[in-house]
Amino acid sequence: MTDVPTTPDVQGPLILLSLGAGALLEYLPPVAGAAHDATEPRRLRIGYIDEAQRHLLDAPFTGPERERLVRFGYDVVDVDLRKSGFEEALACVDAFYVSGGDTFALMSGLRRSGADKVIAERVRAGTPYVGLSAGAVAAGPDVEPAALMDDPGLGLDLADFRGLGLTDTVVIPHADGQLPPYPTELIDRTLNEYGDRFTLLPLYDDQALIVDAAGSRVVPSAEPAV
């Protein structure tokens, strides 16, 4: 476990993943505890926001990301930011899960719908936030450091590249270079290009950044055998 020089700005907690989701089960178990009117423990309702994938729905990684949450035992609630009434869906879940995909497409959708403000307010009030890859980057103060890894052209309607501002650190996912689209050379270019202006955290695919009342730290997050 590695401490990170980040000032938490939330009650959260934040569970920021690169790829492996072992830390998710440890820090946000799918069973929320016994309900008042039931004898069985209640499954945690997690709002699944896939705005980062809307232009990639045929990509092979999009379906399995959601299916993994179901397999883990969460009660997955799909939240479509392009439809009216998404605020009600956000209001009825126990936690937010913001998927991987393109960071700029994600921020464009969050800003356009106003969900960025709703999510940030809820997280600061104590709702857990889980972000994977693009969803992890978006939790930080600015998403510009993702410009070499994703497509800024998908965020042309953004007046700036502000993130959700839930942490002072910008996560750089897939930093071990194991995924072909993100070789170590690209990670190094990103760190060199943006490291002087932002607090960057290279995150391996078997790691997660946890931000909670105990502070900010990198923990193991290998894919569990579930």
Positions marked active-site: 133, 174
Residues forming beta bridges with residue 162, ordered by sequence position = 142
**Residue 3 burial (CB count, 10 A):** 9
Residues forming beta bridges with residue 219, ordered by sequence position = 208
Residues forming beta bridges with residue 42, ordered by sequence position = 33
**Residue 176 burial (CB count, 10 A):** 17
Distance CA 60, CA 146 (A): 21
